[in-house]
Structure 1
Amino acid sequence: MADTERLDWQKSGQCDSSTCVEIARRGDRVVLRDGKDPDGPWLVFSVREWSAFLAWTRQCAR
């Protein structure tokens, strides 16, 4: 992915500052970045990996 690529970055509705993780979709990938370092590195997951992560966090929250 090119660093100059424009993605539709989103934050949680619970976030009220720039210290949150931001997420974007790029084709069949889910991309995360640190909101306070938007030019920093990205973490890239497949949709399947991201879905598994979300399922795990929901189980942990119970």
Structure 2
Amino acid sequence: MILKSAAEDGSALRWRKSSHSDSSDPSDCVEVATTSGAVHVRDSKNAAGPRFAVAGPAWTEFVAYASQG
């Protein structure tokens, strides 16, 4: 995992929220941006704040695990 501070420029990343975000409070969500080497994650309520990145395969495993009932 790679931690990034708010001072690092992430403006080139294309952030998106999950289609499963709660529409009653759209700010209550995480956002992700994918690159060839990693998936970047940040808090949508604090877009300029800290974020982290994980390798694509690790993210795929996490999503598979999290989606299990």
Q: What TM-score results when the alignment is normalised by the length of structure 1?
A: 0.80
Amino acid at match of 2:53: V
Aligned to 1:44: 53
Gaps of 5+ in 1: none
Letter in 1 for 2:14: D
Deviations 1:1-40, CA, capped at 9 Å, x for gaps:
7324321100111223112100101222000100000001
Cα distance between partner residues in 1 of 2:32 and 2:56? 12
Map of 2:9 onto structure 1: 3
**What residue number does 2:18 align with?**
12
Name the CA shift for 1:57/1:32 in 2 (closer, same or farther; >3 Å): same
Unaligned runs of 5+ in 2: none
TM-score (structure 2 length as normaliser): 0.73
Partner amino acid, structure 2, of 1:9: W
Higher relative contact order (CA 8 A, sep 6+): 2
Q: How many residues align?
A: 60
